[in-house]
Structure 1
Amino acid sequence: MLTTLAIANYRSLRQLILPLGRLNVITGANGSGKSNLYRALRLLAETAQGRVIPSLAREGGLPSTLWAGPETISRAMRRGEAVVQGTVRNEPVHLRLGFASDDFGYAIDIGMPEPVPNTLFGLDPEIKRECLWAGPILRPAAVLADRHGPLVKVRDNRDWRVLTRNIAGFDSMMLQCADPVLAPEVLRLREQMRSWRFYDHFRTDADAPARQTQIGTRTPVLGHDGSDLAAALQTIIEIGDEDALHTAIDDAFPGSQIHIPPERGRFSIQMRQHGLLRPLSSAELSDGTLRYLLLVAALLTPRPPALLVLNEPETSLHPDLLPALARLIQRAARDTQVIVVSHAARLIAALERHGDCNSLMLEKDFGETQITGLEDLARPPWQWATR
């Protein structure tokens, strides 16, 4: 389970360190930085897939994603006694992402490349530093794997073993150096991060993949676009928690049941609702009903991930459905760590009634995202690796 999430110089997240629990709710006003936090967490996950540099490129490159304000905001600036302006930089230009968990900590430092002649990729950012360590805080004695530019080394008892001296600047050490014998901790961390799942704004329009009949196969993990919804629901019925599935649907739509009829290998959804003489097909379901079924399939997965992140799951849902959704999220948190990014007051209130809910409210101050009311004593310790 992640205990700390750290982000520096990503959009409005100049220096944000968040404590995390089993069930987490991230909220705040529009423009407070919720979407930036969600995108930064997705970017961190892309590191384990080898896609962090292409993902940055899709966002406009490193210059478009970096913190746009001054390196430091003085007290005089905050009091309005001095103009908000840049000064001579003391640190290199970089984007930093990291986390600490029950077992390991990991951090990555991404910066601009050195000038290289005769290349069209001169604006591609480079990975300057990566560290993997044991325990919650980065300490020299706890480092298990370390990457400085093109050099990657791993701990070998009390000494170091060099794995490579020429890793490419666009490659993470988790992609190139995850060896079950030489670097088992790197491999374990990579596989853990690859299990993270993100669900963000399922399509529910008339042409949405979830409304179409699809060839079905066992689906323990719902696809990101929801195209395999019927197969995922049938998988829960056959090898997952069928009772929890029926309970979640009845909780939201009393007296309703779903059925996946056999159609020569093609799967579709039929939903029986109280008072109707025939079941409704997926094409007839309302946007909110279809979205709720998608969330049911995601949250009741027979293969729980290490981390499940939901971005504004309340979209298209009637407020009366939010308490049922909250109960579904709370149940999922028994088996996996959950982060919910939301601004739906009713959903947040229902989740906060759960005794172990870690609720964090974001706000902006001088363009910088901060956590409202987080005392210094509650702020988790964090140390970035230097270049």
Structure 2
Amino acid sequence: MILTLAVSGYRSLRDLVLPLDRITLVTGANGSGKSSLYRSIRLLAEVAQGQAIASLAAEGGLNSTLWAGPEAFSRAMKTGEQPVQGVLRKGVVSLKLGFADEDYGYAIDLGLPADAGHSMFSMDPEIKAEALWAGEALSRSNEIAGRNGPAVRVLNERGQRLPVLQNLARFDSMMTHAADPKDGLELLVMRERMRAWRFYDHLRTDRDAPSRFPKVGTRTPVLSGDGGDLAAALQTILEIGDERGLADAIDDAFPGGGIEISVNDGYFELLMRQKGLLRPLRASELSDGTLRYLLLTAALLSPRPAPLVVLNEPETSLHPALLEPLARLIGRAAQKTQVIVVSHALPLVSELAAEKDCVRYELRKELGETVVDGVDAPRWAWPKR
């Protein structure tokens, strides 16, 4: 389970260190930084996939994603005695992301390219430093693997930090290029753990959504990001997963209802029985809210639980009556996986806040910066360049 999440210099997240729990709720007004926090977690996962640089470039490059305010606020700026303005920069420009779980921690520092203006790839940020450590926070004594510039050093079994790469490209991460069962086992373990994180924010329910139509199905223990394999995912739960939990989740939201999966020539199709109807409804006939609830059910009751599931505004399209059943569904899933929920639906947030091992953060903006009141920030240190 992730114990600490840290973000520095990403959009409105100038310097944020948050302790996480089995369920972490993130709420706040529009524009308070909820989406930025969600994207920062997703960007961390993309490091392990080797896609972080491309993802930042797609957002407009590092300059478009960096904190846009001053490096620091003076007392006069905070009190309104003088306007917010730039001050002489003392530190380097950087975007930093990191987390610590129960055994390891990882952080990455991205900065402006050294050849900015001299390359057609000048929108690509450079990876300046990375670190993997054991324990709560990075220190000189607990670093397992570290990267500064192109060089990567890994701690061996005799306690020696030996170079394993000397010329790592500035756009490649040590997570993807130095993970090795022999010389970088901890890197390999952490990389695969991060690759197993799941994000659901684009579960389509429109008229042309893939989940509304029959589709060739194979065993599907993990629902895809767009939900196109919904029928196969639900059938997989029925055969090798929590069949009772699936039935309970559907009955909780739609009393007397249930699902069926039909298969014709290998094409799987979802059918739903509803109380009072003489025939089951095909997925193409379901309302957006009903389909979204079924998609979330398939995602959360996966027979292959993820170490982390992140839900971004799962309440979209849901009738208010479905929010309490959704909260109970998330609570059930959290018995096997850590869940982060980004939402502005207060009924959902209030219901989830009553769950055991749950922490709630309400984000707000202060001088353009996302802040969270009343947080006892865990100990944290960033890798040095």
Please state which band the TM-score falls in when normalised by the shorter chain: over 0.9
| Structure 1 segment 28-47 matched on structure 2, within 5 A | 28-47=28-47
Correspondence for 1:199: 200
User: Displacement of 1:117 after TM fit?
Assistant: 8.5
Aligned partners of 1:201 and 1:315 also within 8 Å: no
Residues 158-209 of structure 1: per-residue CA shift (max 9 Å, x gap): 2111111100011000111100001100000000000000000311111001
**Residue 351 (str. 1) matches residue 352 (str. 2):** yes
CA separation of 1:262/1:123 partners in 2, compared to 1, >3 Å: closer, same or farther?
closer
How do residues 278-293 of structure 1 correspond to structure 2 at under 5 angstroms? Answer: 278-293=279-294
Partner of 1:360: 361
AA aligned opposite 1:295: L
- Rounded Cα–Cα distance in structure 2 between residues aligned with 1:143 and 1:322: 43
Deviation at 1:123, TM superposition (A): 3.0
Contact 2:57–2:123 under 8 Å retained in 1: no
Q: Distance in 2 between matches of 1:213 and 1:262?
A: 9
Structure 1 residues 86-141: Cα deviation after superposition (integer angstroms, max 9, x where no partner): 11111111100000110101000000111279632133210000000000111100
Secondary structure of the corresponding residue to residue 263 of structure 2: coil
Give, in whole Å, the separation in 1 of the partners of 2:281 and 2:185. 50
Q: How does 1:1-387 map to 2 (within 5 A)?
A: 1-115=1-115, 119-156=119-156, 157-374=158-375, 378-387=376-385
- The question of whether the paired residues in 2 share the 8 Å contact of 1:27 and 1:361 is answered with yes
| Equivalent-residue separation in structure 2 for 1:2 and 1:43 (angstroms) | 16
Q: Equivalents in 1 of 2:198, 2:345: separation in Å?
A: 21
Letter in 2 for 1:91: G
| Identity in percent | 60
Secondary structure in 2 aligned to 1:63? helix
**Separation in structure 1 between the aligned mates of residue 74 and residue 331 of structure 2, nearest angstrom:** 42
The offset of 1:355, in angstroms, is: 2.7
User: Structure 2 length as normaliser, TM-score?
Assistant: 0.98
The separation in 2 between residues aligned to 1:27 and 1:119, in whole angstroms, is 41
Distance 1:75 1:329 in 2: 43
Q: Output one character per residue of 1:8-44: Cα deviation in whole Å (capped at 9) or x when no partner.
A: 0000000011110111111111111000000011001
Cα deviation for residue 243 of structure 1 reads 0.4
Give the letter aligned to residue 314 of structure 1: E
Cα RMSD, aligned residues only: 1.0
SS of the equivalent of 1:9 reads strand
Q: Give the gaps of 5 or more residues in structure 2.
A: none
CA contact (8 A) 2:202 2:225 kept: no
Distance 2:288 2:43 in 1: 29
Contact 1:310 1:339 in 2 (8 A): yes
> Size of the alignment, in residue pairs?
384
